[in-house]
Structure 1
Amino acid sequence: MCAIAGIFDLHRHADIDAGLLQAMTDRQFHRGPDQGGTHHEPGLGLGHRRLSIIDLGGGQQPLFNEDRSVVVVYNGEIYNYPALMRELQQFGHTFRTHCDTEVIVHAWEQWGERCVERFRGMFAFALWDRRQQSLLLARDRLGVKPLHYALLDDGQLLFASEMKALLVHEGLRRELDPLAVEDYFAYGYIPEPRTIFRQIRKLPPGHTLLLRKGQAPSAPRQYWDIPFAVHAPISEAQAADELLARLREAVRIRLVAEVPLGAFLSGGVDSSAVVAMMAQESQAPVNTCSIAFGDPRFDETPYARMVAERYGTRHHAQSVEQHDIGPVDRLAGLYDEPYADSSALPTYRVCQLARQRVTVALSGDGGDENLAGYRRYRWHLHEERWRALLPSGLRRPLFGTLGRLYPKADWAPRPLRAKTTFQALARDSVSAYFHSVSIMSDQLRGSLFSDKLKRELAGYHAREVLQRHARQCPADDALSRIQYLDLKTYLPGDILTKVDRASMAHGLEVRVPLLDHQLVEWMSSLPPDLKLRGGTGKYLFKRALERHLPDELLYRDKMGFSVPLAGWLRGPLRPQLENSLRSPVLADCGMFNLDHMQTLLAQHLSGRSDHSAPLWSLMMFESFLRQLPAAAPRKPVRQAA
């Protein structure tokens, strides 16, 4: 994969600081260790780092059109580029390379800003048209590839694949956004378009941002959304066959590479399905890799081996034991902002393992969101049926009272946690789903946050993220609505961010066939009962895969890609946890109730409560704050005009 960076002065034509541009580009060297390049002209600078995958000798960037009036820097893969190249040649466009990057330049010339609607793949790019004096920033539909930008007080716009490149610039204010802090401690990540910094934004998935010299920046424009459009009735057997055919095609177009290619194989349904399709499309054995845990409650490697043996893959597994805590403090440096998904640890290790043998790996990410694989979907629909039985005027006070009076039992299986169920039934649908996905309750955040932070929040609540997306949701049924919310928030903000940063840390490209936008559109049109039927999530997917994968893999309880975090925090991570919570940076930031923080720590270490999620979140937040000064920016020196 690659990295992009740039500086665009919206008002002036003075030369940008070439040294600053180079520093921003080099700060992302890990994303593109093979080649690098920059381009600058009055008021504009573009930088690129390249991980060579296709057209190894001819795909250097920045890349220009014939008269050098249009130039692009790009991160991603456009899988339908051969067809687009042929179509553009019929319009008279001339190509000098055989890479997908050049398609972007000519597609812009032919179709303008709507060119992104023709691209099938994952991408983030910046394109400058000198004749039109316009800069186009674009991000793919599902948010596989990242793109950050910031408008400085002097009218310069900075952009980059990762925020660490923006932080090189001294003119960027590093003021933290209190709303992002609330979002982080609710979700465990910071959903688009917000970042931890007030001045930096993420370009949302499926959006473009068109900037013109001399004009004030406009708002990002959405060019795609998950349709959830109901298609003509289809039988279960027809739907199963079509699902596999579409997945097979999505896998096949992602097998094009001039470097070694393989796959992650966790032992779950999604990665196993991708490997099965790869094996049937490949002439040589597929390279697969997986991560094992010493704790059998978290170890899926027996199922991974089952699939590897069935399809004769070259399988490699690596163990992550309790003493393997080396990457913990590095995570803040990878993600550039607080990020609390502890599965980032094994993801980092599996990417490291894969990169020893391949440069490109296919993953199974996206199956749970598209095909209703999460357990929380079942519970939400069950609660929705109860919510529908009583009017809100009666339901809210009744179940609200029961929720307050019933004893807390987090240790018990979900069906016995009546307090949680009563609280959910007292809420509206979106608020209940927010409560389901939150890593920390409203009450706990309220006790943890300082009075100062609460004043700065001014009544803001992280639930508003889901409410904003719910208002735009095109679906009518309860299951599709929460799938839509996850596709807009959890998928890009947590899952894809985790994989992008962990893979790029090792110079590994990850491709995601289950997030092929044409496949996603088709899956969204399926009737809900083909996705979740009774207690079976991914119902149609599993039925379709019965000829390709064993039933003991397809129909076992979902395990998930997680770590035994509660035990680790009481064991090998305890010294680091205690040091983090006593760190002066947490005290000095003024955001937390330090006494309550120590109460959470004592309760967790004693074994009386499991506070692993809030404690890990605090630990990652402290690591972010502590490492932030180490990224001290250099002072830009503007060249003479």
Structure 2
Amino acid sequence: MCGLLGLLTSEGTTDDGVARVDSAMHCLRHRGPDEHGTWHDGDLVFGFNRLSIIDIEHSHQPLRWGPPENPTRYALTFNGEIYNYLEIRAELARDHEAQFHTEGDSEAIVAAFHYWGADAVRRLRGMFAFAVWDTETRELFIARDPFGIKPLFIATGSAGTAFGSEKKSLLELADVIGIGTELDPRAIEHYTVLQYVPEPETLHAQIRRLESGSYAWVRPGEAPRITRYFTPNFPVKPFAAGTEQARYREIAEALEDSVAKHMRADVTVGSFLSGGIDSTAIAALAMRHNPNLITFTTGFEREGYSEVDVAAESAAAIGARHIVKVVSPAEFAAAIPEIVWYLDDPVADPALVPLWFVAKEARKHVKVVLSGEGADELFGGYTIYREPLSLKPFEYLPKSLRRAAGKLSDRIPDGTRGKSLLNRGSMTLEERYYGNARSFNDAQLRAVLRDFRPEWTHQDVTAPIYAQSRDWDPVARMQHLDLFTWLRGDILVKADKMTMANSLELRVPFLDTEVFDVASRVPLDQKITKTTTKYALRQALEGIVPPHVLHRAKLGFPVPLRHWLAGTELFDWAHQQIADSQTDHIFDKAAVASMLNEHRAGTSDHSRRLWTVLCFMVWHGIFVEKRIVPQIQEPVYPVHV
């Protein structure tokens, strides 16, 4: 796990270019405090900060490798882990007599690229963002893992292309490659609606992200040529009669194999543990490979907003040593500027704050943690996925009657029972489902956003994704949408950023191509029932997950944001952020202040909308106004982990 940065110029690199990359790498020091290195070759500069996990004494980067006739042909810089690297190395040695000089996974990538070309990315089982420079063809190949677990930002200007693990490092090179740093108003609107910036956008107009499941070829002086190599599909067929138990075993075996491979490391591996089925399953399976496993959870001082007790019971049931971090409101507020700096772009998911704290605690004891992200998207775990069942009667109504129901709902007072059902039943899936987050509707957005453009909607993001799944059942379509939106825009961003902020590697065994292959074939009635979600997964985990968790509803890391914004904990902080922020050209600050007062008075719950705007204001104060200067500490960690 590491931080990478690259600069490909159209007129050759200079000593100044090398120095600029070396300087910009300081922004990424938290991603790899163990080693630092740069390498350059005429057109290209690679910078690298390493967090040593596998083959610690070797596998230094940027890494050189090549076939016997040119043993230094390629240079590689790589962030992530390849979990089937041992199998790939063995296959390449057997079939191609490939020679290796380290014991790590980095050589497996570059050797696979040499012998298999771009198709190598389809054979890699893991999380990755990497770049390979071919000194013979003078061409750069960059790629990102299928689900977008690891980030990769990219920008091309008049003088070259820069790419890196974090956007802030590319901002340091903006003048070198000839790009501006103006903001993207469409991305701001998308963020305000969705609470995250959807891929491939960022809030800076000329910096984008290489999308999940994609690779690109880049030549000096040319724009990147991008190809999507992985598109998640759900080729669902009903389980044949009498095969249910065999399917459940197949799910359990795929997950057990994934966890086993995710345990490969030369350092201590721990596990995050909430009170839910997903993290408990991962921790229980990890215990089979490390009986001394340490698990970590977090909670808050406010009663009812903590999974601590359930997580502790789960840890005891599986026999793990368990460590808890309880977060106070004062700690929560004080950490926000630092957290937003690490994020690069704001993500208005309050759950990332406790994640940052539990990662900070975990790093005192381990260097790698496992976690349960991705299970809900793969196996149908969100309660909202049950909505098509409740709305099915509307499908039998003529379109005109459905629209009439929607108009009727507009005249019903807010809070009236049945209003939401009529409103949502009047819409198509494409119209009503944005993914797992929606902070503002159009009327609310128009009230607070200065440059509101009605033609910029969530469908800018969702329509191309929905177009790929027209013939699927509605739940599969929702899962597919979430894989491209909520998962990679929110869940995986906060997972990567909050753990790497603390130089901690997070691994997600559910987001494995072999596990996905099994999950994608689970039929609708094995995902969602009238009483539960993730039905097939729950059945598969019988005997693995303790009974008190197996059929428990999803909760996650709940945050008492609604109470804190209305009370002494965060109201004054929020009021001051609104007053100080120089975002009058973006938001109607009087309208935002009014929302805050209404929230405090209890007339409306504006907590999620307020948090969305407040996170942006803090971000703007850091990256645009330079008014807020987070206190970023140099990473220093115990050597024994």
Structure ranking higher on relative contact order (CA contacts 8 Å, 6+ apart) = 1
Determine the structure 2 residue equivalent to 1:210: 217
Segment drifting more, 103-112 vs 387-396: 387-396
Report if aligned partners of 2:233, 2:480 keep a CA contact under 8 Å in 1.
no
1:23–1:475 Cα change, 3 Å: farther
1:435–1:75 Cα change, 3 Å: closer
Determine the structure 2 residue equivalent to 1:138: 143
1:23-422 counterparts in 2 under 5 A? 23-66=23-66, 67-90=71-94, 91-152=96-157, 154-171=158-175, 172-218=179-225, 220-230=226-236, 233-234=239-240, 235-282=243-290, 284-325=291-332, 326-383=334-391, 385-396=392-403, 398-409=404-415, 417-422=417-422
How far is the alpha carbon of 1:109 from its aligned partner?
A: 0.9
Long gaps (5+) in structure 1: 410-415, 633-641
Report if aligned partners of 1:7, 1:16 keep a CA contact under 8 Å in 2.
no
1:475-554 counterparts in 2 under 5 A? 476-554=472-550
Report if aligned partners of 1:121, 1:140 keep a CA contact under 8 Å in 2.
yes
How far is the alpha carbon of 1:446 from its aligned partner?
A: 1.4
- CA displacement, residues 45-90 of structure 1 (integer Å, 9 cap, x when unaligned): 0111100000001110000114322101000000111111111113
Report if aligned partners of 1:251, 1:513 keep a CA contact under 8 Å in 2.
yes
3-state SS in 1 of match to 2:296: strand
Determine the structure 2 residue equivalent to 1:581: 578
Give 1:81's aligned amino acid: Y
User: 1:292, 1:528 → 2: CA distance?
Assistant: 34
- CA displacement, residues 96-130 of structure 1 (integer Å, 9 cap, x when unaligned): 10110011111111011111111000000011112
User: 1:550, 1:402 → 2: CA distance?
Assistant: 47
1:449–1:365 Cα change, 3 Å: same
How far is the alpha carbon of 1:534 from its aligned partner?
A: 1.6
Give 2:202's aligned amino acid: T
- CA displacement, residues 409-462 of structure 1 (integer Å, 9 cap, x when unaligned): 1xxxxxx64222222122221111128731221211111111xx12xx472112
3-state SS in 2 of match to 1:197: coil
User: 2:229, 2:461 → 1: CA distance?
Assistant: 20
User: 1:481, 1:10 → 2: CA distance?
Assistant: 43
Give 2:233's aligned amino acid: P
Report if aligned partners of 2:248, 2:537 keep a CA contact under 8 Å in 1.
yes
Determine the structure 2 residue equivalent to 1:9: 9
Determine the structure 1 residue equivalent to 2:632: none
User: 2:428, 2:16 → 1: CA distance?
Assistant: 52
3-state SS in 2 of match to 1:608: coil
Report if aligned partners of 1:378, 1:535 keep a CA contact under 8 Å in 2.
no
Segment drifting more, 435-444 vs 268-277: 435-444
User: 1:276, 1:436 → 2: CA distance?
Assistant: 28
Segment drifting more, 227-236 vs 289-298: 227-236
Residue 609 (structure 2) aligned to one of 614, 617, 639: 614
Determine the structure 2 residue equivalent to 1:562: 558
User: 1:509, 1:435 → 2: CA distance?
Assistant: 27
Give 1:472's aligned amino acid: Q
- CA displacement, residues 485-536 of structure 1 (integer Å, 9 cap, x when unaligned): 0011100110010010000011000110011111112101111111112221
Report if aligned partners of 1:149, 1:159 keep a CA contact under 8 Å in 2.
yes
User: 2:192, 2:409 → 1: CA distance?
Assistant: 23
1:620–1:427 Cα change, 3 Å: same
How far is the alpha carbon of 1:170 from its aligned partner?
A: 4.3
Give 2:502's aligned amino acid: H
Report if aligned partners of 1:206, 1:223 keep a CA contact under 8 Å in 2.
yes
User: 2:581, 2:125 → 1: CA distance?
Assistant: 48
Determine the structure 1 residue equivalent to 2:634: none
Report if aligned partners of 2:522, 2:536 keep a CA contact under 8 Å in 1.
no
User: 1:10, 1:376 → 2: CA distance?
Assistant: 49
User: 1:474, 1:70 → 2: CA distance?
Assistant: 43
Give 2:168's aligned amino acid: K
User: 1:417, 1:249 → 2: CA distance?
Assistant: 47
Long gaps (5+) in structure 2: 628-641
1:180–1:216 Cα change, 3 Å: closer
3-state SS in 1 of match to 2:288: helix
Report if aligned partners of 2:295, 2:315 keep a CA contact under 8 Å in 1.
yes
How far is the alpha carbon of 1:483 from its aligned partner?
A: 0.4
Determine the structure 1 residue equivalent to 2:635: none
User: 1:226, 1:2 → 2: CA distance?
Assistant: 26
1:458–1:418 Cα change, 3 Å: closer
3-state SS in 2 of match to 1:496: helix
Report if aligned partners of 1:580, 1:622 keep a CA contact under 8 Å in 2.
yes
User: 2:45, 2:65 → 1: CA distance?
Assistant: 17
User: 1:127, 1:503 → 2: CA distance?
Assistant: 26
Aligned length: 615
3-state SS in 1 of match to 2:143: strand
Report if aligned partners of 2:436, 2:486 keep a CA contact under 8 Å in 1.
no
User: 2:372, 2:282 → 1: CA distance?
Assistant: 6
User: 1:194, 1:256 → 2: CA distance?
Assistant: 34
- CA displacement, residues 396-415 of structure 1 (integer Å, 9 cap, x when unaligned): 1x122222111111xxxxxx
Identity %: 34
- CA displacement, residues 314-336 of structure 1 (integer Å, 9 cap, x when unaligned): 11112123332221222220111
Report if aligned partners of 2:156, 2:223 keep a CA contact under 8 Å in 1.
no
Give 2:437's aligned amino acid: V
Report if aligned partners of 2:13, 2:45 keep a CA contact under 8 Å in 1.
no
Segment drifting more, 122-131 vs 398-407: 398-407
1:13–1:54 Cα change, 3 Å: closer
